[in-house]
Structure 1
Amino acid sequence: MNIDKYLRAEWMPALGCTEPASIAYAGLIAAGCLNEPSQEIILKVDTKIYKNCYAVGIPHSGHKTGIKWASAIGVFLTKKELGLQCFEDINPGILKSAQKLIRNDRIKIEIDTLKENLFIEFTVRGGRNIARCVIEGSHTNVTLVSRNNKIIHSSGNCLHFSAQESARKWASSISMDQLIKLARSLSKVQRKAIIRGALQNIKIARHGLKLLPKTFFNTSKSGVSARITALVGAGVYARMWGEPFPVMSVAGSGNKGIVICVPLIMLKNMWHIPQRKIEEALVIAMLITSKTTCILGTFSAVCGCSNAAGIGLACAIVYLKGGGKRAMSLAINNMVGNITGMICDGAKIGCAMKTMTSVDAAFRSAALAMSGIGIPAEDGIVGKDGFESLTNMGSIANRGMIKTDQEILKIMEKKLK
Structure 2
Amino acid sequence: MEKSDLRYKNYVQILKEELVPAMGCTEPIAVAYASAKAREVLGKMPEKVVVEVSGNIIKNVKSVIVPNTNNLKGIEAAAAAGIVAGKSEKKLEAISEVTEEEKQKMKELMVNCPIKVVPADTNFIFYIQINLFYKESVVKVRIANYHTNIVLIEKDGEILYQKEAEVCKEEGLSDKKLLNIEDIIDFANSVDIEDIKDVIGKQIEYNSRIAEEGLKNNYGANIGSVLISTYGEDIKTRAKAKAAAGSDARMNGCELPVIILSGSGNQGMTASLPVIEYAKELNVSKEKLYRAVALSDLVTIHQKTGIGRLSAYCGAISAGAGSGAGIAYLHGGGYKEISHTIVNALSIVSGIVCDGAKASCAAKIAAGVDAGILGYNMYKNGQQFKDGDGIVKKGVEATICNVGKLAREGMRETDKEIIKIMID
On whether the aligned pair clears a TM of 0.5, the verdict is yes
Distance 1:373 1:203 in 2: 36
Look up the SS of the partner of 1:409 in the other structure: helix
Q: Deviation digits for residues 128-161 of structure 1, max 9, x if unmatched?
A: 3221111122212222112222222223358x93
Aligned to 2:96: 88
Aligned to 2:283: 272
Give 1:329's aligned amino acid. Answer: S
- Cα displacement (A) at 1:112: 2.4
Q: Deviation digits for residues 287-323 of structure 1, max 9, x if unmatched?
A: 1101100011111111012x21011111111111122
Give 1:177's aligned amino acid. Answer: E
Distance 1:95 1:200 in 2: 25
CA contact (8 A) 2:321 2:371 kept: no
CA contact (8 A) 2:239 2:275 kept: no
Aligned to 2:422: 412
Aligned to 1:103: 111
Aligned to 2:376: 366
Give 1:383's aligned amino acid. Answer: K
User: Mapping of 1:206-355 within 5 angstroms?
Assistant: 206-212=212-218, 216-218=227-229, 221-305=232-316, 307-355=317-365
Question: Is 2:1 the partner of 1:2?
Answer: no
Look up the SS of the partner of 1:48 in the other structure: helix
Distance 1:178 1:170 in 2: 9
Question: Is 2:148 the partner of 1:140?
Answer: yes
From 121, 129, 133, the equivalent of 2:129 is: 121
Q: Deviation digits for residues 354-397 of structure 1, max 9, x if unmatched?
A: 00111111111111122232112131111112221111112221
- Cα displacement (A) at 1:105: 7.1
CA contact (8 A) 1:55 1:67 kept: no
Give 1:179's aligned amino acid. Answer: I
Give 2:183's aligned amino acid. Answer: Q
Q: Gaps spanning 5+ residues in structure 1: where?
A: none
Q: Deviation digits for residues 176-209 of structure 1, max 9, x if unmatched?
A: 3322111112213124221342222100000001
Look up the SS of the partner of 2:85 in the other structure: coil
CA contact (8 A) 2:33 2:82 kept: yes
CA contact (8 A) 1:219 1:227 kept: no
From 190, 196, 201, the equivalent of 2:195 is: 190
Q: 1:41 to 1:135 in 2, by over 3 A?
A: same
Distance 1:82 1:210 in 2: 28
Give 2:206's aligned amino acid. Answer: Q
Q: 1:161 to 1:386 in 2, by over 3 A?
A: same
- Cα displacement (A) at 1:118: 2.0
User: Mapping of 1:38-77 within 5 angstroms?
Assistant: 38-77=46-85
Look up the SS of the partner of 1:43 in the other structure: strand
Distance 2:44 2:280 in 1: 55
> Could you tell me the TM-score, scaled by structure 1's length?
0.92
Q: In percent, how many aligned pairs have the same letter?
A: 30
Give 1:361's aligned amino acid. Answer: A
From 161, 166, 169, the equivalent of 2:170 is: 161
- Cα displacement (A) at 1:45: 1.2
CA contact (8 A) 1:330 1:372 kept: no
Distance 1:35 1:277 in 2: 50
Q: Gaps spanning 5+ residues in structure 2: where?
A: 1-8
Deviates more, 1:185-194 or 1:215-224: 215-224
Deviates more, 1:41-50 or 1:146-155: 146-155
CA contact (8 A) 1:39 1:101 kept: no
- Cα displacement (A) at 1:4: 2.5
Give 1:411's aligned amino acid. Answer: I
Q: 1:221 to 1:119 in 2, by over 3 A?
A: closer
Aligned residues: 408
- Cα displacement (A) at 1:95: 2.6
Distance 2:28 2:420 in 1: 20
Distance 1:36 1:321 in 2: 57
Distance 1:7 1:215 in 2: 33
Question: Is 2:32 the partner of 1:24?
Answer: yes
Look up the SS of the partner of 1:217 in the other structure: helix
Distance 2:121 2:334 in 1: 43
Distance 1:281 1:383 in 2: 26
Give 2:392's aligned amino acid. Answer: V
Q: 1:215 to 1:50 in 2, by over 3 A?
A: closer
Question: Is 2:169 the partner of 1:177?
Answer: no
- Cα displacement (A) at 1:62: 1.7
Aligned to 1:199: 205
Deviates more, 1:331-340 or 1:99-108: 99-108
Deviates more, 1:126-135 or 1:225-234: 126-135
Distance 1:150 1:328 in 2: 53
Across the aligned residues of Structure 1 and Structure 2, the Cα RMSD in angstroms comes to 2.1
- Cα displacement (A) at 1:220: 9.2
